[in-house]
Chain A
Amino acid sequence: MKQMLTVANKEFHDGLRNRWLVSITLIFALLSVGLTYFGAAASGAVGVASLSTTVASLASLAVFIIPLIALLLSYDSFVGEQESGTLLLLLTYPLSKSQLLLGKFIGQGGIIALATILGFGASAILLYVQLGDENILSAFGLFIFSAILLGLSFTAISYLISLSVSEKSKAAGFALITWFLFALAFDLALLALLVGVEEGITQQGLTQLMMLNPADVFRLVNLTGLDNSEVNGALAVVINAGLSQTQLISALVAWVVLPLTLAIFIFKRKKL
């Protein structure tokens, strides 16, 4: 346990030193404050938009940017140390592979979690001060919580990449492809399936397919709570199918735990 915290502490400080925390927090804060104020600009007014519009637009932006940041932050976690030789050295220490992996996860996950809380929390407070609505805090609470889970999920996924390749540049390439598949291609494929194939897929089936992508689960978590009028497209269909919030959150948690377990498994069989 102590060794694990030592690793976590080092990774967290690396995140601070490399300005990751500051930059991510800044990006999140700018995005959310900007959207909060100018989200309604399309309808001709500048000012604080309605709560559901804000959360909806934040969620659709976060779904692209959080996975990208998480992948960038940790794609070289293992392959980088392998290239520099410190991974082999660390494994001769009284430190098990799972301790090392979980330590890294706690440290880098901590950076993402803290940045999410600070960045998006800023606009929650701003909105609350402006509108004084209690609902804001609970809506943002859920949004921030699910955003953290999304970040952790992609951190775990990037560990899978980092442990499966032997060169840093390859890991970077795979991270980019992974991001493209989950954030963009998956939804396009679903849409094609929905529109192109007649009688091809039931509403139930679509919902189940969406569980295969943590980014979609995150979207569902944040849109089911809102007025249906704000949401359209494939998502609306799924929302009507009605999965409970608890189920969705559990799916997101599973998307953190499963890749992490698989990463430990791969690490244990990895040839050094």
Chain B
Amino acid sequence: MNTPLVSLVEAGKTYGQLEVLNSITMSLNEGEVLGLFGHNGAGKTTMMKLILGVISPSKGKVEVMGMAPDSKEAWHCRSKIGYLPENVSFYEQLTGLEVLTYFTKLKGFSNSKAKKQAIGLLEQVGITYAMKRQVKTYSKGMRQRLGLAQAFIGEPKLLLLDEPTVGLDPIATRDFYKTVDQLKSNGSSIILCSHVLPGVEQHIDRAMILSTGQLLAMGTLGELRQQAALPVVIKPISFKKGGLHGAVAQDSKLNTFLTETCQHTLMVPEQEKLAVLKQLLSLEGLDDIHVESANLEQVYQHFLEKHELDLQKQSQGGQD
């Protein structure tokens, strides 16, 4: 097996008494897209800073491309890493092109190549029309695109994007995910850091859920769903008057799945899904059926709630 591009082994970070990140172990392979989810203050940004080598771990080990990212040897690797910080406002008095040319030069491009590269990137994110304008005239979305262009400089092997789609309109978001897929197929690894966003599921290979510095869960969406054991929501629909309700409620097996709040919805465990569907299909008067597996947002909620319950139990245990 080839070595992972990024690996954290029981890495933690403390600021004085405050533990910001607690023993995280994870790895990221080449060409893999990892979604990193958590509330504000969950430790997402700290983890990114550790991987970037801007801060050093208080304990454990961090390796990027086989080296500690905060060491001198890792210096040349930095030109192969792209980063989009969460809140960045670029030099307001410079034009978009000037900003990007500056950053391109700092990534090691020669003066003549830097400008060409910068224009290419601005084209990619679709703001060439405004490249001669000062950044202070840019809208939030345009600034975000400029930030993305900055992160894409030099076809990075590793991309760390903190809230990349904030402020982007739906079309720009779609373009952004297209670029992500493209970079991924070129072999780049990407860490997407965000609050849970609709639409992110199709683009990530694995998800990682953090809360208050702790790793709550990590795996593919399927694995996480299984761990969470969230029920599938099934809604049988009938257009006729009176509907199906009677039939479902009378069935001794089906009515166990009926929810109290919504009379037309069944909550079925994943393993019972097919059996229930077959039974529903045999009912008369069925016109349509909605089947919805738990989405990322629900999985995320589930893990956070579970974590909170655990914390409560712990503190109660401590009091007794």
The interface of chain A, by Cβ under 8 A from chain B, is: 2-3, 6-7, 10, 14, 17-18, 84-86, 88-96, 271-272
Contact = CB atoms under 8 A, between A and B. Distances in A.
Contacts of A95: 106
A18 B93 contact: yes
B52 A6 contact: no
Given A6-B105, A94-B107, A272-B49, A84 B78 contact: no
Interface stretch (B82-90, B115-123, B172-180, B303-311): B82-90
- Which one of B75, B76, B79, B85 has the greatest number of beta carbons of chain A within 10 Å? B85
B89 A94 contact: no
Contact of B83 (A3, A6, A18, A92): A92
Interface string B60-72: 0000000000000
A93 B85 contact: no
Contact of B106 (A84, A85, A94, A271): A94
Interface magnitude class on chain B: 20 to 34
A92 B90 contact: no
A88 B79 contact: no
A61 to B, nearest CB: 31
A86 B54 contact: no
A94 B102 contact: no
Q: Would you call the interface of chain A mostly helix, strand, loop, or mixed? A: helix
Nearest to B160: A92
Interface in B75-117: 75-76, 78-79, 81, 83, 85-91, 93, 102-103, 105-108
Given A6-B102, A94-B76, A94-B108, A84 B89 contact: yes
Interface string B8-19: 000000010000
- Which one of A90, A91, A96 has the greatest number of beta carbons of chain B within 10 Å? A91
Contact of A86 (B55, B91, B93): B91
A92 B106 contact: no
B102 A10 contact: yes
Contacts of A17: 93
Interface of B: 15, 49, 52-55, 75-76, 78-79, 81, 83, 85-91, 93, 102-103, 105-108, 150
A89 B54 CA distance: 9
Given A88-B54, A94-B107, 11 more contacts: A6-B106, A17-B93, A85-B86, A85-B89, A86-B89, A86-B90, A89-B83, A94-B78, A94-B79, A94-B108, A95-B106
A89 B15 CA distance: 21
A90 B106 contact: yes
- Which one of A94, A96, A272 has the greatest number of beta carbons of chain B within 10 Å? A94
A266 B79 CA distance: 25
Contacts of A94: 75-76, 78-79, 106-108
Contacts of B75: 94, 96
Given A88-B54, A272-B54, A272-B55, A93 B106 contact: yes
Contacts of A7: 106
B78 A92 contact: yes
A84 B93 contact: no
B88 A85 contact: yes
A18 B94 CA distance: 11
A96 B106 CA distance: 11
Contacts of B78: 92-94
Given A14-B93, A84-B90, A272-B54, A89 B107 contact: no
Contact of A89 (B55, B79, B88, B105): B88
A195 to B, nearest CB: 48
Nearest to B52: A92
A85 B91 contact: no
List the 9 closest A-B pairs by CB distance, nearest first. Answer: A85-B88, A94-B78, A84-B89, A6-B105, A92-B83, A92-B52, A93-B106, A94-B79, A85-B85
B220 to A, nearest CB: 29
- Which one of B49, B52, B78, B106 has the greatest number of beta carbons of chain A within 10 Å? B106
17 contacts: A2-B108, A3-B108, A6-B102, A6-B106, A7-B106, A84-B88, A84-B89, A84-B91, A85-B85, A86-B90, A89-B85, A92-B54, A92-B78, A93-B103, A94-B75, A271-B55, A272-B49
Given A89-B85, A92-B52, A3 B106 contact: yes
Given A10-B102, A93-B103, A94-B108, A85 B83 contact: no
A113 B86 CA distance: 37
